[in-house]
Amino acid sequence: MIVTTRPRRTKTVQYAVLLGYLVFLGFPLLWMLSMSFKGPRELVQLYPSFIPEDFTFENYRTALTEDDHQLVRNGINSLKVAAVTALLTTMIGLPAAYVLARRKGLITRLGLGWILLSQMFPLILIIIPLFLLLRDLKLTNSHIGLVVVYVVWALPFILWMLMSYIRGIPHDLEEAATVDGASRFQILVGIIAPLLVPGIVVTTLFAFISAWNEFFFALVILENPDLTTLPLRLAQYVGIEGVVRFGPLAAAALLATAPSLILFTIIQRWLARGLLSGAVKG
Amino acid sequence: MRKVITLGVLTLLCTVLVAGAQAGKQASVVKLKFATYVWQPTTVAANKAIVESWNKSHPGIQVEIVPVDVNSVHDKLLTSFVGGTAADVIHDEAADIAGFTQQGYLANLTPLIPKTLKRTIPNSLWQTTNFGGKITGVPALLQTYNIFANMDILKSAGIKAPTLADPWTWPEFRANAKRLTTSGRFGVCWGLRSPTAVTQTMSLNYGGQFFYLENGKWTFKFGPNDQNVVRQMHDMIHVDKSVDPAATGLSGSAVLPAFFGGKCAMTVAGNFAAQSMILQSPKGFNWAMFPLLKGRTQEQVANPQTYSISQQSTNKQAAMFFISYLVNRQNLAKLALGDWLIPANPEAGKLARKSTKRTGSWKIATESVVHFRKGNWVSLAAYPRWKAEVAQPNFVQYLRGSISLEDLGKNLEDGWKRINGR
């Protein structure tokens, strides 16, 4: 009797804690959803209600149509920049991570040290030299320039992540393939890559979301409003001295969150596998 | 055959001539970039309309708007200046252009400003953008800090609203705030999350400048004039208990729900908060914006929005023509109405008053122009850093009651020595 009750109680507590955690995580999103359907007067009520009293789509209409549908244009820009960044980062990161994970020697150690070191410079320190470099390459105010920066910015972390996944794949598999006459490239594409799919998904997703959410580089590099990305658009709802256009901001922020949420939902299976795979060592 | 060749040659010649004429026409068009941080939809629309009308009426000088995020103006401008990609016309504020002027990024507008424009703006405002004889910005729009009151609560307490002729003094404000404080209500909800601007601006009521020129060097001093306003604010929170202490940690706009909900009778905010009162207050909410508080005077520090010309611009004269157009009476009134800010040109203020129904608050706002004075801190290049690193945290600590007035003065002075001494 005691044996069967304890696990049930434990499970109940576990589920209660999990539910509490889910509410904690999901509440800001739900509150944002609620705000996005409220009018300007209801948004500053002293005792706000969760369910909007005067339900309105006005905030969505404003967010989507304001400035000649600027939000939509900025959303397309973000999608373009984030997708290309994710693709390029993974394409460059995968072979580099393989070499760094499998080759041992002074150059590898120096390379890893340098990658780690490059992560230690604060953003504010590198932004002006980076801007000057992009200007000389005529890449300011262009998506290409922004993608180059995002790839460079995301690559060190991606490399470390992919390296840990590659190290988790037994070396014996590659040795067996070598014995069978496979080349390095064939091993990478035919043996390593399929086993790394979860890791690749996770790193691609990381690169995508980093680029999707990034604000400061986009602020400095982009000038033309037709080229700007979503985070810059969202910032325009926040004005001086804490004055915020809460309604349109909530609507626009919710629309901006949607692609990431959908992407997560689709590939969460891979994500869970990838996380587990990365956690296993040796 | 000969006819065909002649026709071909003539066609080619015509094409070359037309193309040449087109190229010549395009080359003679001056293109200006105008970096602006307007963000309220009404002002964005007004700004766009002004630029469009300029472009239509001035085919030889075409202006392109470059939007800048209102909360990242300094960073964006700095990188563009350093990178040599700065816009020709720069929208900023007086306190921020001091540093850019010192670094040589902004053009001296003194010889470029038309006499007519010079006359339309009071000299006290030109002083805010005059750095050692060089004017590097045209003052455009300003804000004051005013009391907003729930008139129903005031009437029920038998308190009369102040008038332009008879404004409240600080002691009257304190006394009324105390009278209006009951068990379920505070006299004032004051959003003091970032208290430096409001404190220093209103300190001029008692002549408090905080920074004084001594032996050719700007020195921080915290004498009785400088202490007066911040001490009274502190005492309202901790001695009178007429200011809601919970609200002091919020921004000016974040206290509005409490004000609208009747949890406090008054709030102190920038005059532009009138826009929120109109758009967001509950239907039938009876509010009023009061004239500037009076210490020894009603003076407040002017830190106007400014229009400058980048030193890198190759079309400074054309840029000045555009600025003159941008701040003419009609256009400045449109921009002022969009942001609910006070136009530097009093004539534009009168025009703005005529174009709105809320004449009461606009009258009070525009009549305030005469009380604007130059604050010494506005022209100090090291001021923005001192404000962010030293003043904000120390004013917050003092108003929370964590440090004494003496400690506040010492910390502010030490911080200035550290930052300015570098």
Give the model confidence (pLDDT) of A132-161 as tens digits.
999 999 999 999 999 999 999 999 989 988
The predicted complex's ipTM stands at 0.75
**C-beta atoms of B194 and A140 within 8 A:** no
As a whole number of angstroms, the distance between CA B114 and CA B94 comes to 20
Strand B30-36 to strand B89-93: parallel, antiparallel, or no bridges (unpaired)?
parallel
**CA dihedral sign, ordered B184, B185, B190, B191:** positive
Strand B30-36 to strand B61-67: parallel, antiparallel, or no bridges (unpaired)?
parallel
**C-beta atoms of B84 and A135 within 8 A:** yes
For residue A133, give how far its alpha carbon lies from the nearest alpha carbon of chain B (Å): 9
Q: Which residues on adjacent β-strands are paired with residue B141?
A: B343
Answer for the pair B135, B309: CB distance below 8 angstroms, yes or no: no
Confidence at residue A280, expressed as pLDDT on a 0 to 100 scale = 41
For residue A272, give how far its alpha carbon lies from the nearest alpha carbon of chain B (Å): 38
Confidence at residue A48, expressed as pLDDT on a 0 to 100 scale = 87
Confidence at residue B339, expressed as pLDDT on a 0 to 100 scale = 86
Q: Which residues of chain B have a Cβ shorter than 8 Å from any chain A Cβ?
A: 39-41, 44, 65-67, 69-72, 75-76, 78-79, 82-85, 191, 193-194, 250-254, 256-258, 260-261, 263, 270, 272, 276, 279-283
Candidate from A45, A46, A140 with C-beta closest to B85: A140
For residue A15, give how far its alpha carbon lies from the nearest alpha carbon of chain B (Å): 36
Q: Which residue from A minimizes the CA distance to B40?
A: A239
Structure tokens at B247: 């609200």
Confidence at residue A278, expressed as pLDDT on a 0 to 100 scale = 44
Q: What is the 3-state secondary structure (H, E, C) of B141-153?
A: EECCEEEEEEHHH
The pLDDT-based confidence of A281 (bands split at 50, 70, 90) is very low
Give CA separation, B262 vs A195, B240, B246, in Å.
64, 19, 15
The size of the A-B interface in CB pairs under 8 A is 87
DSSP letter at A51 equals S
Q: What is the mean pLDDT of residues A75-86?
A: 96
Average pLDDT, chain A: 87
**C-beta atoms of A127 and B79 within 8 A:** yes
Structure tokens at B94: 């007086």
- DSSP readout, A176-190? HHHHTT--HHHIIII
Q: Output the tens digit of pLDDT for each of chain B's 422 residues.
A: 556 556 555 555 555 555 555 555 555 899 999 999 998 888 999 999 999 999 999 999 999 999 999 888 998 999 999 989 999 999 999 999 999 999 999 999 999 999 999 999 999 999 999 998 999 999 999 999 999 999 999 999 999 999 999 999 999 999 999 999 999 899 999 999 999 999 999 999 999 999 999 988 999 999 999 999 999 999 999 999 999 999 999 988 889 999 999 999 999 999 999 888 888 899 899 999 999 999 999 999 999 999 999 999 999 999 999 999 999 999 999 999 988 899 999 999 999 888 777 667 888 998 888 999 999 998 898 998 999 999 999 999 999 999 999 999 999 999 999 998 75
Q: What is the mean pLDDT of residues A175-186?
A: 86
What does pTM read for this prediction? 0.82
As a whole number of angstroms, the distance between CA B95 and CA B308 comes to 13
